[in-house]
Amino acid sequence: MSASTDITTHAGVRGMRIDWTPYVMGAGIGVLSWIVFVFADDPLGVTTALSAVAGFAAMPFTGADAVWHNSYWAQTVPSLSYGSIFLVGVVLGAFAASVAARQFHVETVPAVWRQRFGNSISLRFGAAFVGGALEMYGARLAGGCASGHGISGTLQLALSSWAFTILMFGTAILVGSLLFGNAGDRR
Amino acid sequence: MTLPVTGPALLPLGIVFGFAFGWLLQRARIADTNVIVAQLRLRDYTLFKVMLTAIIVGGVGIFFLHSGGLAAYHVKPANLAAVAVGAVLFGVGMALYGYCPGTGLAAIGTGSVHALIGAIGMIAGAIAFAFSFDWIKATLLPIAAYGQIRLPDLTGIPDLVWLAAIAAVGFAALFVLDGRRHV
């Protein structure tokens, strides 16, 4: 680990330390993926389960028949299953962690967005809605998201997942840099 | 107990595994949109550090579990045209939303109201996809479709060599890019 000693030296002025938290938590996610593969025979992922749940959300608008006869929901069946309960667990786990760390706070317009686009809640909510919709459509087209492809798929060395992850982050970095400019650099 | 767990016994595991995932995402600070956007602007490498470590630790473990017959692979098919278009749409969406789907759900738990609005957007996106699926399946999915292929199959280079190379290149890149901020 001579590399880490080096960076410590460089960062010496800032207090001689590396923040190991992202590596420790990343290793934790890696270990969790072992457990989930073995016990649930399912890769860690979000959007497959979320699109099954979306079938229920569509029913009031389209009628139940349109959902049950849809060819996509015929293969990703809307049901209260392991996957949908996993999604509830994600929200609860992050809630518990943020309360335990005293970091829970209601956020409508995040700091980095406010610095670039101002205080408008409707603008932020509009962008979040459109962004979420595009992201989900893209994830379903590609067969996975930053968890399903970006972690579970890449760790299995899947061609589809490496292609997705590299192209996805390339696009997100380009668009994110153009969109936010220097916002976030000011404190 | 036989593995994998199936049927109703799997449901409580869903809550436990999801809880652990959400807890880890929050503790890694990536349930915070400011951290995600800082990664997209290459100002903070937290997200890449978490993902790379998860890929290497997860990948080595799954390789041995698979070799020992304890874990099955779930490789998503390389429908490369659909993967490419999907990745670009996802990238634009991620920059606007400020989260990926998993970190967005976790952020709802930490009190982010705009993450909840984005999750409603995700459901709208899923519904739009379901109703365009027949068309996508006929047009985009068959283009450059190579099936459930893995990099070791494609190249003949063994799994552990791939993982070692990814770790070496990835951590070296992180060291250079992230170290630069401290110097």
pLDDT in tens, chain B (183 residues): 678 988 888 999 999 999 999 999 999 999 999 999 999 999 999 999 999 999 999 999 999 999 999 999 999 999 999 999 999 999 999 999 999 999 999 999 999 999 999 999 999 999 999 999 999 999 999 999 999 999 999 999 999 999 999 999 999 999 999 876 543
Handedness of CA B90, B95, B96, B99 (dihedral sign): positive
* Cα→Cα distances A61→A56, A134, B127, Å: 10, 20, 10
The 10s digit of each residue's pLDDT in A67-103 is 999 999 999 999 888 999 999 999 999 999 999 999 9
Q: What is the pTM of this model?
A: 0.92
Q: What residues in A contact B172, CB-CB < 8 Å?
A: 3
pLDDT of A16 above 90:
no
Cα-based angle A131, A134, A135 (whole degrees, multiple of 5): 80
Nearest to A164 by CA among B170, B98, B139, B78: B78
Q: How far is B159 from chain A (nearest CA, A)?
A: 8
Decide if A45 contacts B70 (C-beta within 8 A).
no
The 10s digit of each residue's pLDDT in B107-158 is 999 999 999 999 999 999 999 999 999 999 999 999 999 999 999 999 999 9
B80-97 helix and B33-40 helix, angle to the nearest 10 degrees: 120
Over chain B, what is the mean pLDDT?
95
The 10s digit of each residue's pLDDT in A131-159 is 999 999 999 999 998 899 999 999 999 99
Looking from the CA of B181 toward its CB, the CA atoms found within 13 Å total 13
Model pLDDT, residue A129 = 98
- The amino acid at B53: T
* B101 → closest Cβ in A50, A125, A169: A50
B173 and chain A in contact, CB less than 8 A: no
Q: Do B19 and A101 touch (CB under 8 A)?
A: no
B15 and chain A in contact, CB less than 8 A: yes
If contacts are CB pairs under 8 Å, which of residues 36-95 in chain B contact chain A?
37-38, 40-43, 46, 49-59, 61-62, 65, 70-80, 82-95
B145 and chain A in contact, CB less than 8 A: no
pLDDT of A124 above 60:
yes
* A30 → closest Cβ in B57, B90, B102: B57
